[in-house]
């Protein structure tokens, strides 16, 4: 079953998030975010375009390399690059990014500067530093 444009954009944004946490080149991160926005804004299914072998590269903000990644996602439902990025960072990093007011930049600070890589560690640090009690409503609605 073909992926919806939103699902493809979500994968591209997740790659951008991981690249940002790893401190990769800002231009590269922005290219993923721009491609995700472009895919979301399309009226035509990008999966259908890939299936019909239409020139995805002709879409604004989509270069040759990104077109290849989008085609891979559309055809396989996944991206090898994302799998590799997920293996390089703890899985719990994604859980932290799902918290309200958290994103890749704040998650990176917690991970790199404070060695916090899980919600449990974040809870302990918040309680120790500020005496905070954690409530379930801190998570974003997914």
Distance CA 128, CA 106 (A): 19
Q: What's the mean per-residue pLDDT of the chain?
A: 88
Nearest alpha carbon to residue 38 among 18, 13, 20, 55: 13
pLDDT on residue 141: 45
What is the H or E stretch that residue 16 is in? helix 5-21
3-79-117-36 Cα dihedral, nearest 10 degrees: -60
- Delineate the domains of the chain, giving CATH numbers in brackets: 5-87 (1.10.150.110), 91-138 (no CATH)
pLDDT reading at 53 higher than 80: no
Q: How many other CB atoms are found less than 10 A from the CB of residue 92? A: 16
Read off the pTM. 0.82
pLDDT on residue 60: 87
């Amino acid at each position: 079953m073909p992926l919806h444009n939103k699902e493809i954009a979500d994968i591209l944004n997740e790659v951008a998030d991981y690249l940002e946490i790893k401190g990769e080149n800002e231009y590269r991160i922005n290219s993923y975010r721009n491609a995700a926005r472009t895919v979301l804004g399309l009226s035509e299914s990008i999966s259908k375009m890939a299936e019909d072998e239409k020139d995805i590269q002709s879409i604004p903000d989509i270069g040759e390399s990104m077109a290849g990644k989008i085609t891979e996602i559309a055809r396989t439902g996944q991206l090898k690059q994302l799998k590799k990025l997920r293996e390089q960072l703890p899985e719990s990093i994604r859980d932290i990014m799902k918290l309200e007011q958290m994103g890749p930049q704040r998650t990176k600070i917690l991970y790199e500067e404070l060695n916090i890589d899980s919600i449990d560690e974040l809870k302990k640090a918040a309680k120790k530093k500020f005496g905070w009690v954690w409530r379930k409503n801190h998570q974003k609605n997914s």
